[in-house]
Amino acid sequence: MAEHGTPGYGTSGYGTLPAWHAARYQRALDRPARPGAFTRFAARVEAATPAHRDRAVDALRALAILGVVLGHWLVTAFTATGPDGMRVASPLRTMPELTPVSWLFQTLAVFFLVGGYGAARGLRPGDSWRRRAGRRLARLARPVPFLLLAWVPLTAALAWAGLDGDTLRRMVKLVLSPLWFLVVYAVLVAATPLVAAAWRRVGVWLPVAAVAATAALDLARFGLGGPEWIGWPTVLTGWLVPFSLGVAWADGAFRGRRAAAGLLAGGTVAAAALVLGAGYPAAMVGVPGAPVSNLNPPTLAAVAFGLAQTGAALLLRGPLTRWTRRPRAWAAVATANLAAMTIFLWHQSGMMLVTAAAFLATGPLAGLHTSPDGLEWVPLRLVWLPAFALVLAGLCLLPRLTRTILSQTSGRVRTSHRRAPR
């Protein structure tokens, strides 16, 4: 074997490589690296972003969507009841020590906060309510028909494959559950001119009145033994609180940190007092079998928790603005925002399809169909999250792919008609 330094062989860090081979390596190292596909995409997104864009708002929206998606995937489980059936279970019921997970991932208040901000910023003088509401509601509702149409054949296929009727009803109920949020959000977005006018007229008394209305409805429901339906107006009064604070933010409120810190501290203390002293559930999401849910409909405890989240979100504006100045981070945030409503509406479908397909193909699998009654279930569940995310990504791309195919098909049909002999 030739030694280092032998004529014809390289000696500068390449061992016994031939000199011509070492020189080729050196030229490759000296050549400027070509940016990857995502880096080039990030550069295009950065160049297309207006300088006045409030990137912190988009980052908060992306974090809110991520929280909701991960929260549902972690605290909603299906356990096998037989060869053709499953039931809904939750680790929060069998492992209450995991309750803080619901505090981290129940981020709906942040979504309503940035929704109010964006809706208020979109108000234009002279723009009619009908035209403005029509534009915004059309954007919100765009993914809904495809979701509904897709689950008709999917339900039939799963029934044909052997899932029993009770399991299918549970799955479809979870798949369609995001629609309640969309309806409430759409109502508040349509009412943005009224909310903005009320904020300009009465200021902070607007969210205070919404909190008071929620408290009164809770008192009638829990304290005075009223019927269950009496609590349902809180789906509007409860979520009006963060939405109106978003409208206030767009109007110039919360320029300093003091008000945001006050919301964080006050909301935290109020939520803790309601849980510890008034008997509200500690979990900020619904738990199967629990007598009371903080979200279905929203309770005063959920509203207090939302105030704390609002304060935390407002305090994060500075750090998020600095973080999103990085092109790659901003590209990820911008992409999530473009598909935010589609991700929200389809995320349960991604989990359901993986769960059902695996159950029908192989039977119960650990972390996917086993009972969440021990801490060993948690890492097993985490293993399945990439599969949920991959299917969700495909579902989000499916409507666009369908539109592309239909447009190309219609284009070919029109071309053939033009070329047809007369």
Report how far residue 237's alpha carbon sits from residue 252's, in angstroms, rounded to the nearest whole number: 23
pLDDT at position 356 over 50: yes
Q: How far apart are the first and last CA of the chain?
A: 81
Task: Write the pLDDT tens digit of every residue in 65-101.
Answer: 999 999 999 999 899 888 888 999 999 998 989 999 8
CA atoms within 13 A on the CB side of 266: 10
DSSP secondary structure, 74-127, as one string: HH-EEEEEETTEEEEE-HHHH-GGGTHHHHHH--HHHHHHHHHHHHHHT--TT-
Identity of the residue numbered 296: N
Task: Write the pLDDT tens digit of every residue in 357-391.
Answer: 999 999 899 999 999 988 999 999 999 999 999 99
Q: Say which residue, 126 or 169, is predicted with more confidence.
A: 169
Burial of 196-214, coded b for 16+ CB within 10 Å and e otherwise, reads bebbeeeeeebbebbbebb
Percentage above 90 pLDDT, the chain? 58
Identity of the residue numbered 2: A
Asked if 398 and 346 touch (Cβ cutoff 8 Å), the reply is no
Q: Domain extents for the chain?
A: 67-407
Q: What's the rounded mean pLDDT across residues 225-252?
A: 93
Across 92-106, 135-149, 174-188, 235-249, the highest mean pLDDT is recorded for 235-249
Per-residue pLDDT, 73: 94
Q: Using alpha carbons, list the distances in angstroms from residue 142 to 80, 134, 245.
A: 35, 12, 27
CA atoms within 13 A on the CB side of 41: 11
Task: Write the pLDDT tens digit of every residue in 311-332.
Answer: 999 999 999 999 999 989 999 9
Q: Say which residue, 141 or 154, is predicted with more confidence.
A: 154
Q: Using alpha carbons, list the distances in angstroms from residue 263 to 241, 268, 309, 310, 314.
A: 12, 8, 8, 7, 9
Q: What's the rounded mean pLDDT across residues 265-285?
A: 95
DSSP assignment letter at 233: T
Task: Write the pLDDT tens digit of every residue in 187-236.
Answer: 999 999 999 999 999 999 999 999 999 999 999 998 888 888 898 999 99
